[in-house]
Structure 1
Amino acid sequence: MKFAILIVGSSLFLLTLPVSAGTFLETFDKFDLKDWEEVTERNLPTGEWRVVNGVLHAESKDDAIRMLVIKDAAWHDYEVELDVMPLDRQGRGHIVLAARVNQTYAIVFAIGNIFWNAPSPIVSGFIFKLNTGRRVGIPLVLMKIQDLFNGRPQGEIVDEILRVGVVTDICTTILPHPFLERGKWTQLKLRIVDKSFMFSVNEKLVLYLTCLFDSFAFLEEDLNVDSVGFGLAGYTARFDNLKITGEEVPNRGGLSVQPQGKLAVTWGQLKKYGK
C-alpha cells in the first residue's frame, strides 16, 4: 500500500505558496513564552520548556503529548519548518508537529511508537482529541483498514502495517519510519494545502495525509483553520528555527545567527546526557 503515498506525493510539489505570503520566524534567541500556550493531552501536568543557549529545551517524560501552540493564530494553508534534536528517550517516545490546533483537536504528525503500541517506530498522521488522548473516529478508521486488507486477521494486518504502512482517505496514515537520531539536528517540514497535508523529514516526503473532514459526522468543530504547534512525548529534546510561511501568516521575527554557533554550544551541553 505504500505506493499510494508515492503516486500522490509526486504531484504535490507543483503547488506553490502565494507571492503575498508572510513569514513567522521564531529562533528562540529571545523566546517569550507569553506568546504561546502549552497544550497537554488529557489536561495532564505541564512539561518543561526553557531556553538553553538560544535553543528551546523541552521535556515530557511520560507518554503524554505536550505541545507549545501559537496563541491567537487561525491559519488555513501554510508551510511550517522546525529543527529538532532528540537528546534522550524515556520509553517509547514521540516527536510531534501539529496543525489546525484548537482547544479540543489537533491534526498530529508524529514519529515514534506511542499511539499504536508498535514493536517498531512509525510515522503517523491523524486527528487527535486532546482531552481524551484518543484518535478521532477510531472505529471508522479500523473498519477502513480492515477493508483495505480484505478482512485479514488483526495480527497479520498489524504486521503488514509495520512493514509497508497504510494510507487511508479519512485522515489516518501510518508508515514505518526510524526514530530520529539522538544528538543530531533533524529538519521537520509540514505543508498544508486545504485538506492535504505533506510531512517531510530532512526534505524527504515521508507521509501524505488527506483529511476529508465530512467523513467524520461526529466531529464537533470545523478543522479548516486554527493554530500551529510542536512538542514531544516520552522525550527530552531541543527545538530551533521555527519558520511558518503562508498567505494569512503575519511577518514576525528575524533570522537566527546559527547554525554553527548554536550547534557548538549545544554539543557541549550534551555531555551531561552522556551522548
Structure 2
Amino acid sequence: MEKETMRSNFSFCLALLLITISMVFVSVSQAGIQLWDFEKNGKEKDWEHANGDWEFKKGIFQEVSAAESAMHQTVRGVNWEKWDDYTVKAKIRPDEGAKWVGLVFRAQKDLHEYYVYYLNIPNNTSEFWVHMAGAWDTRRAVINKKTGNSNNPAQGGIKIEVGKWMDVKIVAKGSEFSFYINDKLQVVHQETTYKKGSVGVWCWVSKASFDDVMVEGDSVTNTLAVDPQSKLAATWGNLKRSP
C-alpha cells in the first residue's frame, strides 16, 4: 500500500513537472525573434536605404560620412508591417566626432515616418523624437516634463562617450515606450502617432557603428534558429571589440 502511494505521488509530481515545463515552453515560444548581426551577407538585402553613406564592414553596420541630418536605414524583416508591441535592442558605438546616434522603431512604409530614440553625446542625455512626412528633418520632440525640453538626463551613472559600445533597448507597449541604456531605465514616454512598424538605425551628422540589432515580440515572426553556439548566445551583453 505504501509503495503504491509513493508510486502515485511520484507520477503526480512528474506529471506536474511536465505540465509546468510545457507551459514555460509555450510562453517563451510565443515571442518571435529576428536578429541582424551583420556577420553574413545574406541579410544585407533586408535593409532599406533612406539617406547617408552606410557600409557593412567587419561584422558591423556603419554610417561613415556624418554628412546629413537624420541619416537612417530601416530593416524590413519578415512581416514587419504587423509588428506592434515589441522590444528592439542593439549595440551602438558613437564614432569619431559623433554627437547624436540612435535606434529607429515603429517605422512606416514612408521612410520619413518613424520614431527615433537617440543618444545625445555632448549633453550626456537621450532624446525621443517623432519624424513625419516631408523632409528628412521634419520632426517634433517628445518633451520631458521634468526638464521642459527633449533632453532626458542619463540615469544610473551612465556616461555616453564616443568610441564606447553601449546597449540601447526600447520596449514598446501600445502608446507607452520605455528606454534603456546598458539595461538601466532612462525614461518612459507616451506617444500615439504610430501603432505598428519596423526598426532601424539612425545618425544625425554623426558617424556611428551598429551591431546585433534584434527585435522580439508576440507579433514578430520568429526567424532565429536555436543554436547555443550562436553569436547571440555568446556575445549579447558583452561589449564587442573595435574592428
Query: CA–CA distance in 1 between the matches of 2:131 and 2:231?
Result: 32
Identity of aligned residues (%): 22
2:128 match: 125
Map Cα deviations across residues 99-148 of structure 1 (whole Å, 9 max, x no partner): 111213111111127xxxxx835311121125321224x7xx7xx89xx7
Q: AA paired with 1:85?
A: R
What letter matches 1:66 in structure 2?
A: M
Name the amino acid aligned to 1:129.
M
One-letter code aligned to 2:37: T
Secondary structure at 1:235 match in 2: coil
Report deviation, 1:199.
0.9
Given candidates 70, 73, 80, the residue that maps to 1:68 is 73
Instruction: Find the partner of 1:231 among 186, 202, 205.
Output: 202
Distance change (3 Å), C-alpha of 1:95 and 1:130: farther
1:246 is matched with which residue? 217
Unaligned runs of 5+ residues in structure 2 are: 1-26
Note the residue ranges of structure 1 that are not aligned, 5 or more in a row. 1-17, 41-45, 114-118, 149-163, 168-172, 214-222, 270-275
User: Which of 21, 28, 31 is 1:21 aligned to?
Assistant: 31
Q: Which has the higher contact order (CA 8 A, sep 6+)?
A: 1
Indicate if the aligned counterparts of 1:23 and 1:244 stay in contact, CA closer than 8 A. yes
Name the counterpart of 2:139. Answer: 135
1:247 positional shift: 0.8
Cα separation, 1, equivalents of 2:239 and 2:120: 26
Identify the match of residue 118 of structure 2 among 71, 95, 110: 110
1:48 and 2:64 correspond: no
Structure 1 residue aligned with 2:107, among 87, 91, 101? 101
**Amino acid of the structure 2 residue aligned with 1:230:** V
| Whole-angstrom CA distance in 2 between matches of 1:166 and 1:79 | 27
CA shift, 1:95, in A, is 0.8
3-state SS of the aligned residue for 2:195? coil
How big is the alpha-carbon RMSD for the aligned residues of Structure 1 and Structure 2? 3.0
Q: Is the contact made by 1:24 and 1:244 (CA closer than 8 Å) also made in structure 2? A: yes
After superposition, residues 148-187 of structure 1 pair within 5 angstroms as 165-166=147-148, 173-177=150-154, 180-187=160-167
For residues 206 and 237 of structure 1, the distance between their equivalents in structure 2, rounded to whole angstroms, comes to 21
Alpha-carbon offset, residue 47 of structure 1:
1.4
In structure 1, the residue corresponding to 2:45 is in which secondary structure?
helix
Highest CA radius of gyration, 1 or 2?
A: 2
Q: 1:94, CA displacement in angstroms? A: 0.9
Distance in 2 (CA, whole Å) between partners of 1:111 and 1:262 is 17
Q: In 2 relative to 1, CA 176–134 (structure 1 residues): closer, same or farther, beyond 3 Å?
A: farther
Residue 159 of structure 1 is matched in structure 2 by none
In 1, distance between residues paired with 2:134 and 2:159? 26
CA distance in 2, matches of 1:105, 1:229: 12
